[in-house]
Structure 1
Amino acid sequence: MSVTKETLRKVMIVGSGGREHAAVKAFLNSNKVKTLYVAHGNDGMFNGHNEIDGRLQKVDLSIERQEDIQKLAAISQEMGVDLIFVGPEKPLSLGIVDVFENEGLAIVGPSKKASMLEGSKAWAKDVMRTLNIPIPDYVNFSDPDKAKDYIKSQPNPVVVKASGLAAGKGSIVTTSKQEALEAVDLIMVQKKFGEAGNQIVIEQRLDGEEFSFFAFTDGETVLPMAWARDYKRSHDKDEGLNTGGMGAYSPYRENEQELTDTVMKQIAQPLVQGCREKFGFTYKGILYIGGTFLKENGKINPYVFEVNVRMGDPEAQVIYPRLKTDLVDISMGIIEGNLGQLGRLDWDQNYHVCVCATSGRTRGKNGWYKGYPQRYATGKEISGLNQISPDSLVFHSGTKWDTEKQCFITDGGRVLSIVSSGVTLGEAGNKAYQEIAKVDFQGLHYRKDIGT
């Protein structure tokens, strides 16, 4: 019997970060969810600042290898899970969607083939060039010496990218030839990102207004989400190293519909259609396009830097709380191929601001930890979470519950995020900073310019 919105009761989210915590909150807002399993989640989801929902249950299995996918499929069948929603890119690139669909399980996400759009930036660039989607000029390299020769021949700064999955940190924006040459060494010779750096993309550096565009798609219909702006650099004024994200806010700007129409027409719809008609695979799930707007001859033109096959983090923490359309209905529309029947998505019009608390600089036994996104310490006691206003949200990313100390401790680079809302961007930002000021742990670091 096919699963319908009327019979749906059991949902499973795959993932463990702040993005997945935000998805947990979104699914628990639905009265169509009887039980929400999380594989494997994090301690903050099950013992956090906000009241814990009795429908939430932990599945103690993390997807790291192919055999983990088989195990989770068997668990899902045994528990009678009706819908699986995948958060991070790694399980998607390992082929979780293909395996689960072959087992007759309803799952939201792109196939292994489609996930190569994120898993291989080099291949993704070739796909977009074939489809005439606007992208910066680029060249792919598998030989570091040839890559360096190319850099030496370029008159302008370039961006050097690891082609494979690098947790959002594999793109190095350079300002000189020397920096670019060092980036090649870092990625291809020193293997900073492991096998992800076996191949690199060197592309023209475009300095415009960067954007992140998100959409749900069933392979035919593309439903754009609300816009969000994220902050990648580790320090204020966009200084410091590139990170997975230090904060975000949504909505992005007043003329969002104009931007949406532009990106839909020139990028999102041609990409989904082209994957189906020219490359022979259906792209379904969440589409995440990162790029920049350039003003050229009086027009605003978008260019794509990268395609990701999942929701952004921390953008999810400001987009999912704004989503008023039931995420169960959206998920079933993707799976059943009738997403178009939903029409436009409904959004809370208030501004939402997310500020990420990270593990910063601390002294260790053998010197200093530089802090996220470089080497950082863990196991630091977190205080102040019980003082956070119930009007704000706390999403955990890298925390662990210490049963002896009866408190949360740090367990990652990005530790947690605070999300607050308001009628204006300024009001939402002020609330978020008032709340995060209540949180403390050794080495705590966060940007102080999110939304300003």
Structure 2
Amino acid sequence: MKIMVIGGGGREDAIIKKISENKNIEKIYALPGNGGIMGEATCVDIGAEEIYKARDFAVKEKIDFAIVAPDDPLAMGAVDILEEAGIKCFGPDKSAAEIESSKVFAKNLMKKYNIPTAEYEVFSEIDSAMEYVKTCKIPIVIKADGLAKGKGVIIAMDRDSAISAIKEIMQDKKFGDSGNEIVVEEFLEGPEVSVLSFTDGKTIVPMISSMDHKRANDGDKGPNTGGMGCIAPNPFYTEEIAKRCHDEIFVPTIDAMNKEGRIFKGCLYFGLMITEDGPKVIEYNCRFGDPETQVVLPLLESDLLEIMIAVREGKLSEDIVKFSKKSACCVVMASGGYPNEYEKGYEIKIGEISDNSIVYIAGAKRKYDKLITNGGRVLGLTAIDDTLEGAVSDAYDNIEKISFKKAYYRKDIGSKALIEAL
């Protein structure tokens, strides 16, 4: 089989490494891929959002199966366009991808079908949004409606911060047209849980739970990022919570999408908060999370490509999805200054990594046979162990063997989870 993977980050590196275990694969193409993926797949200089170029390439190369990994091409209808050209795909179509590409749509869907989430208001006019935050309960969460590379959410701890956030999003267009509308929602408290799931629109099979670390700095301080690290499984996600999520959130979401005529086939990501009132949805993603993928897929014992094909064909079943009982920890190494201004072009030096660890390359390119930094989140180091404590310890032991100029990473990935687990 010839496989095409659209995307070029750490998530795509993890997907490619995992599907490579399938013996029926003849060749894997990555569009555009990156400097690390080059060792596992043939990288093609076609951007993830250049959908029609990707379609033409897939037709020319007689691609048997395509995996559309990032949010932007999914929201733009990449799956629709590829399928129309006869290319079988893993990923939701454009109408189903709106569950991520529009927070307004997602919130209204939850409200309509009684799926537990934070209370919220929607604003398309800056003046009315300003008036609302002058009297609403603080702290408050302000979200750009559209996609914003995982950074379109601002938690305002006081009214001045809320007003500044609204100006940044709606007036200054910090996130472009994604900020034409905003969601202002209730600030929820409790442990956060990420649950990725496979679904063919009928059956939903949750993957192992995880805990992302979004803030740039230790102690969950600093600006939001795309994710600075992750652990799996999440100790706050107990069997009791898992059952409630299945009955109150997962199945109702699939049913709601079906009733709206938006059958979701692919990976549906549930960002959850375990509140005093039970689990509630913070956000949906229409694809594998990053860096959640880098801790979830190493624990998958089943054939990922077989699962993806079953999802596309509407033949998903629980018995083809099996996970290890082990734990994983991913620490992201980023360029100094990320998620704001940062420099590129520094050589990455990787020492001898232990057998239980994997390096996933994200923002890097090849130059004169050297790996060079080329993005904000440069790489992720994932360690797998029988215990979460061992996985965290090994991840930090191994991340010290990697270096590049102005590198930084959080030193407390997994610390909250370890306290809960012990």
Same structural fold, with TM-score higher than 0.5 when normalized by the shorter chain? yes
Q: Which residue of 1 is the match for residue 363 of structure 2? A: 398
What residue identity is the alignment partner of 1:10?
K
SS of residue paired to 2:36:
helix
Distance in 2 (CA, whole Å) between partners of 1:45 and 1:284 is 26
Q: Deviations over 1:398-419 (max 9, x none)?
A: 011121xx42121111010111
SS of residue paired to 2:256:
helix
2:388 to 420, 425, 436: 425
SS of residue paired to 2:147:
coil
SS of residue paired to 1:355:
strand
Distance in 1 (CA, whole Å) between partners of 2:239 and 2:85 is 40
Distance in 1 (CA, whole Å) between partners of 2:144 and 2:137 is 22
Question: Does the 8 A contact of 1:330 with 1:339 survive in 2?
Answer: yes
Q: Which residue of 2 is the match for residue 351 of structure 1? A: 327
Distance in 2 (CA, whole Å) between partners of 1:372 and 1:58 is 26
Q: Which residue of 2 is the match for residue 26 of structure 1? A: 18
Q: Which residue of 1 is the match for residue 294 of structure 2? A: 317
Q: Which residue of 1 is the match for residue 348 of structure 2? A: 382
What residue identity is the alignment partner of 2:46?
L
Q: Deviations over 1:366-411 (max 9, x none)?
A: xxxxx0111111112222x1432343111011011121xx421211
**TM-score between the two structures when normalised by the length of structure 1:** 0.89
Q: Offset of 1:451 from its aligned partner?
A: 1.5
Question: Does the 8 A contact of 1:227 with 1:256 survive in 2?
Answer: no
Consecutive unaligned residues of structure 1, counting only runs of 5 or more, are: 1-8, 361-370
Distance in 2 (CA, whole Å) between partners of 1:230 and 1:63 is 24
SS of residue paired to 1:23:
helix
Matching of residues 174-323 of structure 1 within 5 Å: 174-253=156-235, 256-277=238-259, 279-296=260-277, 301-323=278-300
Distance in 2 (CA, whole Å) between partners of 1:344 and 1:303 is 28
Distance in 1 (CA, whole Å) between partners of 2:385 and 2:48 is 37
Consecutive unaligned residues of structure 2, counting only runs of 5 or more, are: 416-422
Q: Which residue of 1 is the match for residue 305 of structure 2? A: 328
1:148 to 124, 130, 143: 130
Q: Offset of 1:139 from its aligned partner?
A: 0.7
Question: Does the 8 A contact of 1:223 with 1:344 survive in 2?
Answer: no
**TM-score between the two structures when normalised by the length of structure 2:** 0.95
Q: Deviations over 1:134-168 (max 9, x none)?
A: 11110111111110100012133210001110000
Percent of aligned pairs with the same amino acid: 39
Distance in 1 (CA, whole Å) between partners of 2:239 and 2:293 is 20
SS of residue paired to 2:393:
helix
Distance in 1 (CA, whole Å) between partners of 2:387 and 2:99 is 36
Matching of residues 36-185 of structure 1 within 5 Å: 36-47=28-39, 52=40, 56-64=41-49, 68-185=50-167
Q: Would the alpha carbon gap of residues 289 and 254 (structure 1) be closer, same or farther in structure 2, given more than 3 Å must change?
A: closer
Question: Does the 8 A contact of 2:346 with 2:405 survive in 1?
Answer: yes
SS of residue paired to 1:449:
coil
SS of residue paired to 2:240:
helix
SS of residue paired to 2:24:
coil
Aligned residue pair count: 415
What residue identity is the alignment partner of 2:43?
K
Q: Offset of 1:69 from its aligned partner?
A: 1.5
Question: Does the 8 A contact of 2:3 with 2:66 survive in 1?
Answer: yes
Distance in 1 (CA, whole Å) between partners of 2:233 and 2:106 is 28
Question: Does the 8 A contact of 1:224 with 1:260 survive in 2?
Answer: no
Question: Does the 8 A contact of 1:118 with 1:307 survive in 2?
Answer: yes
Distance in 2 (CA, whole Å) between partners of 1:45 and 1:318 is 18
Query: Over aligned residues, Cα RMSD in angstroms?
Result: 1.4
Question: Does the 8 A contact of 2:119 with 2:185 survive in 1?
Answer: yes
Question: Does the 8 A contact of 1:15 with 1:41 survive in 2?
Answer: yes
Q: Would the alpha carbon gap of residues 402 and 122 (structure 1) be closer, same or farther in structure 2, given more than 3 Å must change?
A: same
SS of residue paired to 2:271:
strand
